[in-house]
Chains A and B, each alone.
Chain A
Amino acid sequence: MTANTAKGTGAGTGASGAAKATGAGRAAGAVGPAGPPDGAGAHVSLQNLSRFFGAVRALDGLNLEIEPGELVALLGPSGCGKTTALRILAGFESADRGSVLVDGRDMSAVPAARRDMGMVFQSYSLFPNMSALDNVAFGLRMRKKSADQRRSQATELLEMVGLADQARQYPHQLSGGQQQRVALARALAIEPSVLLLDEPLSALDAKVRVQLREQIRSLQQRLHTTTLFVTHDQEEALSMADRVGVMRDGRLEQVAAPSELYARPATAFVAEFVGTMNRIPGELEADGRVRVLGATLPIKGERPGEPSGLMDVLVRPEDLHLAAVQAGSGIVTIATFLGSLSRISVLLSGDITVQVDVPSAEAPAPGTPVEVTMGNTPVLVTTRH
């Protein structure tokens, strides 16, 4: 592995603080200090990447910086270009424009086999003709390590992912989750400068998915490997990443820490893609504020194109308030119990349904007439559907 200088102290992401490091220590505690030494991840810079497939624009001037040791998730609907970006970084595709820099070095002319990037694929990618151990040792073999070294390093990696007992098993004898853990060990065995995860959890069932995502995150933090993670699952992205980049039509709409992304989405697309969002009709006033649900509120984020007129206002369920009023304009249709909170669907006049989160103790029963109000905070608006 190349000797990098940065040791991740200046990862520049407020989110990856001490709290998460503790979490990593706890999750990896069973392994002990015998794991590979803390390397320093590489700095990745994607600059103005564009890629066309015929007339389809898969990437349209993508810019992204990944700090050493950081895990950045690219999140977006299918066809938004996130996988293309990852494959260009891996060296499996080439960009029509733009460049890929790793620690300041231009990678355009470097073939995939020499990029020193570990990758975990969406589909099961273990070599069927090799045991789990040989799969993990494959990259070491390509690096001309001795047989003893390969075996001991691969065994160590398998221990790290909790599969030491399965070392002699062939891929078809392993479950889907086990296969992906072996694939992760295999990718990490080469001590990659960058770890690439291409929807590695999407083929697994829900329970395994959650376990594996915690394991990936704790390993990544422990090894301090710069990681690009591509997913269409917002829960995965928000729970694992230091920063999440939301992509749409080959561009990044916003790159921010998960909490920031949720609380302060830069665009209506991000707002609606991340978390649950209500669309409530409102009217733009001449003074630049918007009138909605009887209140007049300031606007944040993107300004709508037109100076006035009918707009949709975007509000999260927790930012709406409910009051049971006999003469209320809405009526509760469904109350979904979520634990401490309940999500209430309210049918308003004009056939609009909004969702409101309330403490479960105060949840009104279906059929209750209610009044829906909102606080006085600035809201996002978007053109009406």
Chain B
Amino acid sequence: MAAVDTIAAGEPAAGPAQGRPRRGAGRRDGFTPWRWLILVLAGVYFLIPLYAALRFAGWGSFGSVIHQSGFTDALGLSVRLAVITTVITLALMLPTAVYVHLRLPRLRRLLEGITILPIVIPPVVLIVGLLQVAPGFLKGTSYLLALEYVVLAMPFAYRSIDAGLRSFDLKTLVEASNSLGAGWSSTLRRVVLPNLTTALLSATVLTVALVLGEYTMASLDLYQTFPVWIVVFDQTSGPISVAASLLALFVTWLFLLAITMLGGRQARRTGGGEVALFSVARRDTGRTS
């Protein structure tokens, strides 16, 4: 949608708006049978296990899942952990990433390296380390596990926010905002955050998905989170535990879908990138560096 120019000066609508290729144009032509084949194969690969699980569990099990002992507590704990982890992660990562982008761009590489460590280091090492340094009042509370999850979520959250910050000219926008009389809090609230919604949603999606699916740390630390409960319950009733797994899967899917659609709508309005799970698509502006 090239900008319509109706002004008297008659300036041609040149620039980024026009130079942008129309989305989807010419793409459909290349949708060959090969692609269909791959799509079908991948679909079969993913859907057959789901179907098998569904058959094994039977429709009846779904209704009885919520009446099982421990279900509500486990789900409640997982949701609480997801919320706490997301809040702490964003509160830590957002200011850090913004600050590094604006003031210490040379440290960006280093920070990237640091934030990837939790993926490299085995979870057991992280747990033992954290237990060593964690203050006593945290032990046994859900906050301790949330802190462990914050560490685990760091690589994903940082990457999302970093990609979001790179998708627009942060420095120039902040300076423009300053020159117009906005202080730091106004600039963050009205300029930086609104342009990071996609990235923040993406970070949230990843963090929540990670917390809702994490098993190792929770079971090692003896927390009965939802995934742990499923495994434990599996020993009592196979079909119901499978039904619970499927339920968890669908709920997580719906949740991710909702966030993605939310981000997509925002992105379409402002021309920004859409939510992708590991990064944010680059904004298509004619920035110069």
A residues contacting B by CB (< 8 A) are 30, 90-92, 111-119, 121-129, 138-139, 142-143, 162-163, 165-166, 169-179, 183, 186-187, 190, 196, 202-205, 207-208, 211-212, 215
Seen from chain B, the residues whose Cβ lies within 8 Å of a Cβ on chain A are 1, 3, 5-9, 11-18, 168-169, 172-173, 175-183, 186, 190-191, 194-195, 269-272, 283-289
Shortest C-beta distance, B192 to chain A (Å), equals: 10
> Would A190 and B180 be within 8 Å (CB), given that A178-B5, A203-B288 are in contact?
yes
Closest A residue, CB atoms, query B6:
A165
Report chain B residues within 8 Å CB of A183: 176
Supply 22 A–B pairs (Cβ within 8 Å), ascending by A. A91-B179, A113-B183, A115-B179, A118-B179, A121-B176, A122-B288, A124-B285, A125-B169, A127-B173, A127-B177, A127-B194, A129-B195, A138-B177, A139-B181, A142-B181, A142-B186, A172-B270, A174-B17, A175-B16, A177-B15, A186-B180, A212-B11
12 extra A-B contacts, CB within 8 A, seeds A121-B175, A127-B190, A211-B11: A112-B178, A115-B179, A123-B172, A123-B286, A129-B191, A129-B194, A169-B3, A175-B5, A187-B179, A190-B180, A204-B15, A207-B12
A172 and B8 within 8 A (CB): no
- Residues of B within 8 Å of A205, CB to CB, are 14-15
Whose C-beta in chain B lies nearest to the C-beta of A181? B11
A205 to B, closest residue via Cβ:
B14
Cβ-neighbour of A113 out of B11, B15, B178 (below 8 A) = B178
- Measured CB to CB, the nearest residue on chain B to A115 is B179
A277 to chain B, nearest CB (A): 29
Judge whether B8 and A127 touch: CB under 8 Å: no
User: Bound complex: CA of A116 vs CA of B284, how far in Å?
Assistant: 31
Min CB gap A224→B, angstroms = 20
Contact across chains for B14 and A117 when beta carbons are under 8 A apart: no
A228 CB, min distance to chain B CBs, angstroms: 13
**Which residues on B sit within 8 Å (CB–CB) of A115?**
179
Q: Are B3 and A175 in contact (CB under 8 A)?
A: yes
Chain B residues near A215 (CB, 8 Å)? 9
Q: Is the CB of B286 within 8 A of A128?
A: no
Known contacts A173-B1, A176-B286, A178-B11: does B175 contact A119 (CB below 8 Å)? yes
State A204–B285 Cα separation when bound (angstroms).
Answer: 13
Closest to B186 in A: A142
Q: Is the CB of B181 within 8 A of A113?
A: yes
Say what secondary structure dominates the interface of chain B: loop
- CA separation between A141 and B247, bound complex, in Å? 48
Among B7, B16, B181, B190, contact of A172 (Cβ-Cβ < 8 Å): B16
Cβ–Cβ contact B14 & A176, under 8 A: yes
Q: How far is the CB of B232 from chain A (nearest CB, A)?
A: 46
Across the A-B interface, the 9 shortest Cβ-Cβ residue pairs = A172-B271, A176-B15, A139-B180, A175-B15, A129-B194, A142-B181, A162-B7, A175-B13, A125-B176
Partner of A175, one of B17, B180, B195, B288: B17
B287 near A138: Cβ-Cβ < 8 Å:
no
CB-based nearest B residue for A87: B175
Contacts of A143 in B (CB 8 A): 181
- The listed residue (B6, B190, B285) touching A128 by CB distance below 8 A is B285
Contact of B179 among A119, A127, A171 (CB under 8 A): A119
Contact status B183-A125, CB under 8 Å: no
- Chain A neighbourhood of B183, CB < 8 A: 113
Task: Give the nearest-CB partner of A129 in chain B.
Answer: B194
Distance in Å from the Cβ of A340 to the closest Cβ of chain B? 28
Residues of chain A within 8 A of B169, CB atoms compared = 123-125
Which chain A residues border B173 with CB–CB below 8 Å? 125, 127
Q: Which residues of B contact A124 (CB under 8 A)?
A: 16, 169, 285-287
Known: A124-B285, A208-B12. A173 touches B3 (CB 8 A): yes
Q: Which residues of A contact B285 (CB under 8 A)?
A: 124, 128, 171-172
Q: Given A118, A139, A142, A163, which contacts B7 in the complex, CB threshold below 8 Å?
A: A163
CA A125 – CA B9 in complex, angstroms?
22
- Please give me the residue from chain B that is nearest to A126 by CB atom: B176
What separation, in Å, do the CA atoms of A205 and B17 have in the docked complex? 14
B14 touches A208 (CB 8 A): yes
Q: How far is the CA of A174 from the CA of B7 in the complex (A)?
A: 12
Task: Check B179–A90 contact: CB distance below 8 A.
Answer: yes
- C-alpha spacing A195/B14, complex, angstroms: 26
**Residues on the B chain within 8 Å of A177, using CB:** 11, 14-15
* Pairwise interchain contact A142-B182, C-beta atoms closer than 8 A: yes
Interface centre among B13, B18, B178, B179 (most CB of A within 10 A): B179
Question: Which one of A91, A111, A172 has the highest number of Cβ atoms from chain B below 10 Å of its Cβ?
Answer: A172
B3 touches A127 (CB 8 A): no
- What residues on A are CB-neighbors of B11 within 8 Å? 175, 177-178, 207-208, 211-212
